[in-house]
Amino acid sequence: MTSITSLDHQFDKNHLWHPYTSMTNPLPCYGVKSADKCVLTLDSGEQLIDGMSSWWACLFGYNVEELNTAAKDQLDKMAHVMFGGLTHQPAIDLGKKLVEITPDNLEKVFLSDSGSVAVEVSLKMALQYWHAKGTPKSQFVTIRNGYHGDTFGAMSVTDPEGAMHELYHRFLPKQLFAPQPTIKFDEVWDESDLDEMTKIIEANHTNIAAIILEPIVQGAGGMYFYHPEYLKGVRLLCDKYDLLLIADEIATGFGRTGKLFACEFAGITPDIMCIGKAITGGYMSLAATLTTTHIAQTISDGKAGVFMHGPTFMGNPLACAVANANIDKLISFDWQKNVLNIEKQLIEFLAPCKTLTTVKSVRVLGAIGVVELNNAVEVAKVQKQFVDLGVWIRPFGKLVYIMPPYVIEEAQLKQLCDAIFQVAKNQS
Ligand SMILES: *Cc1c(COP(=O)(O)O)cnc(C)c1O
């Protein structure tokens, strides 16, 4: 009898592109049969504790009862209808929740299908805002080591040292890059950290549409936590020079850092905010770009009179219904206590890594734990070591990091951290 559970890995290898890997000589892939709570079950039967939350997305792990129910109930009503000329309860409910939980002046919600698209929408909103005011501007400022997605506008504000600018530079718009903030989250603040950013703005502000950055936590560009005063300073610069501030909370949103949104560390409100990843608790692709009444009004009063974007799956009812159940669950659950508890455990369980000569730095913020090595890892090899240790952790470059589901148990978290120690110890 042929086993129906064994995956056709050969087909996968021959025909399916996986993220950031070669089509013809890809990094190895593990087949997943199912996932429940914080455990992934491979087609080989092995069980792995999940340290990645499927790239920041799963807040409550997998196979979450409330989210399953929300998806099934919505499926019986309608999976999708176009958002042009039609609306529905799941989108309205989601809009209300997002306006409620995000910083106060963010009141207008643009739903889209992925984080990168939410970023494109934010850039277009900023450009259209200035266009509508009769003072068109064409550049964005950001900080180095940022990551904002893989579409062209998003790539243009992503760190230029990554491979992407090199490949596409003839096509990419040229943006302005301030250095990465040097004062870390828990270090003593020094105003001079804003000097370079200030210079760039002073010299170019008449053509700058907005500053875009990831508040406090830079994710895929380096897993780096910078000082909240930097973000406060950027907000003040935006106010002083009349620039818009776009906060990309796609990774940081929904409690991951210990605050519902990372902007709260600095007590600031952006003019435009992008959210995605965890919005549906890891169930399906959905994102949103929120902005102020003033910006929406200005765009709408402009010559175009409309905002020029409208994805086919905008406001997808299934995704909205799951997002609603996810946000309800988050808000009704003592998420902050859980995240801060995970933070405490991460600090304790990752501390031994600090003693290793192979480790450059260990940092923790909220439910994010990062071990930066001195040298880049060999992903395929390290991946296998982790799988052999019963955990799912996927490093990139010198960074071995985890951001587990908020419902992870202490023993599971310990196993994740112990595995990082073991693997880090065996690096060069
Ligand atoms: C992941 C990410 C994006 C892109 O989101 P996708 O859903 O992958 O398109 C944008 N910004 C940040 C900060 C992210 O972490």
How far is residue 307 CA from its own chain's centroid? 25
How close is the Cα of 360 to the center of ligand 1, in Å? 26
DSSP 141-152: EEETT----SSH
Residue 189 Cα distances to 142, 255, 261, 268, angstroms: 20, 24, 21, 17
Q: Which of 277, 286, 403 to mutate to test the pocket of ligand 1 (most atoms within 8 A of CB)?
A: 277
Contact 271, 210 (CB under 8 A): yes
pLDDT (tens digit, 9 = 90+) per residue, 300-309?
A: 999 989 999 9
Q: How many residues does the chain have?
A: 428
Which residues of the chain register pLDDT less than 70? 1-5, 163
CA angle 10, 14, 17 (to 5 degrees): 115
Ligand 1 atom at minimum distance from 277 CA: 7
| Coil, strand or helix at 114 | coil
Ligand 1 atom at minimum distance from 251 CA: 15
Ligand 1 atom at minimum distance from 214 CA: 13
DSSP label of 184: B
Q: Say how far apart CA 101 and CA 275 lie, in whole Å.
A: 12
215's tokens? 């508040």
Nearest by Cα to 128 from 280, 309, 278: 309
Give domain 9-60+334-425's CATH architecture.
Alpha-Beta Complex (3.90)
363's tokens? 């940092």
Residues 6+ apart with CB under 8 A from 365: 185, 216, 217, 225, 257, 258, 343
Contact 282, 322 (CB under 8 A): no
Tokens 């792995």 correspond to what residue?
Answer: 48
The pLDDT value recorded for residue 6 is: 80
How far is residue 155 CA from its own chain's centroid? 14
Contact 219, 53 (CB under 8 A): no
Q: Say how far apart CA 109 and CA 163 lie, in whole Å.
A: 33
How close is the Cα of 75 to the center of ligand 1, in Å? 27
Domain 68-332 CATH assignment equals 3.40.50.720: no
Angle between helical axes of 89-101 and 317-332 (0-180°, round to 10): 40
Q: Say how far apart CA 129 and CA 112 lie, in whole Å.
A: 19
Question: Sheet harboring 272-275: ordered strands across?
Answer: 106-112, 287-292, 272-275, 244-248, 208-213, 139-143, 176-178
Residue whose CA lies nearest to ligand 1 atom number 5:
115
Contact 315, 89 (CB under 8 A): no
Q: Say how far apart CA 232 and CA 58 lie, in whole Å.
A: 29
DSSP label of 180: P
| CATH 3.40.640.10 domain locations along the chain | 68-332
| CATH 3.90.1150.10 domain locations along the chain | 9-60+334-425
The pLDDT value recorded for residue 163 is: 58
Contact 266, 232 (CB under 8 A): yes
How far is residue 377 CA from its own chain's centroid? 23
